[in-house]
Amino acid sequence: MLKPVLNPSFVYKRVNQVKNIVLLYVHYTLMLTQKFILKKIGQATLHLLFWTGVLFFYTYFFSVGSKNLSDTFSFSLFLMPITIATTYVSIYKLIPDYLITKRYWHFALYSVYTLIISAYLVMASIFFSLIYISGFDYTEMNPATKNILFIMTGVYLVVFIVSAFKLLKLNVKQTAKTKILETKILEAQLKLKEQELNYLKMQIHPHFLFNTLNTMYGYALKKAQETPEMILKLSNLLDYLLYHVDKPLVLLSDEINHIKDYISLEQMRFNDTLDVNFYDSGCSKSIEIAPLLFLPFVENSFKHGKIENGILSIDISIQCKVNHIVFNAKNSHSKSVSKTAGIGLDNIKKRLELLYQNRYTLDIIESDDLFEVQLQLKLADV
């Protein structure tokens, strides 16, 4: 049995691919490392420049009443480690770990500890000034270094300013994070809303199509002459369902036209047993609404209407006022027989809440022999 022989060109291509992937990974890692190192160098440089400025500030601040700048500079150098340590403990431990996280008791406790330790070290700096700089001669001491309150004011002034800047920076950063989180939450809510709307629309499609196909099936069995007209109207309705229902808004005139097509289809099915009246008034051709808002109500009237004395009575109206639309649908009804209004009403209630929250009123009136829907939509300001 012959063993399979690997194609050299195939092996060469695979090796090159692996090589390229490794090179890209190494290059990307080096870029990240380089950016990290440059960032740290930049931060270290800024810190060095800042503390150099503080050193010169101390030299000027504590030279009041003294002409010996070299002694003041030496004293300031001794204060620098105390100031730096106190500042870093404040901005890298106390503020982020306790103040920002609202652990106020711990923040207060550890702040007192920091204050006590730093005050002790400041006292040590005064003894340093007395022993090493002034040679145990109190009169030779820099006047400013004799006053412990003056020294502490200089030290804690720097700590306070840096801590305030750190707190401001953290607040700005937290505000930015909050805005990003709010944006993500809003986007998630919008996506959830969009998915729920799509789900509700998917409920409408098969439900509506089932009823209209049943009507057409009956006419096809009869081989009626109205069948081609019926197919055309059904085609228009399907076009509306498939290609227009996914739009956020459609013209009210389109919704009205498709309601008329649906009524025509139902008139063919019911023949003489249907008494339907539909009228619209005052509706501008530029008015837009969400698709399939009124059609489910119309469908519901036919599906759940009750034939009384051989007639199914339905009255539908759409009236456009100054800033709102009023839709009304009435149908004969038997409360004792019909216990449910079907998918349509539950569906439309959810869609209205999603699309027209606080901009609609929906009243459903049910009596022993009448079922009525009154819907009022407030139009967007123009």
pLDDT tens series, the chain, 382 aa: 445 555 666 666 667 777 778 777 777 777 778 777 888 888 889 889 998 998 888 888 877 666 667 777 877 888 888 899 999 999 989 988 888 888 889 999 999 999 999 888 888 877 776 666 666 665 656 666 677 788 888 888 999 999 999 889 888 888 888 888 888 887 777 677 666 656 655 555 565 567 667 767 776 777 767 778 778 877 877 777 667 666 778 889 888 988 888 888 778 777 778 888 998 887 887 888 888 788 888 888 887 788 888 888 899 999 988 788 999 999 988 766 554 445 556 767 877 887 888 899 999 888 888 889 999 998 876 4
What pLDDT, on the 0 to 100 scale, is given for residue 382? 47
Give buried/exposed letters for 15-26 (b at 16+ CB in 10 A, else e).
eeeeeeeeeeee
Q: What's the token pair of residue 204?
A: 């409408």
Task: Provide the β-strand partners of residue 326.
Answer: 319, 376
Q: What's the token pair of residue 101?
A: 């996280």
Local structure of residue 135 (DSSP, 8 states): T
Type of residue numbered 219: Y
Classify 85 as helix, strand or coil: helix
Type of residue numbered 161: I
What pLDDT, on the 0 to 100 scale, is given for residue 105? 92
Distance CA 247, CA 238 (A): 15
Q: Structurally, what CATH architecture does the domain formed by 224-378 represent? A: 2-Layer Sandwich (3.30)
**Among all chains, which residue has been given the structure tokens 């030779």?**
140
Distance CA 298, CA 274 (A): 14
Say how many C-beta atoms besides its own lie within 10 A of residue 141's C-beta: 19
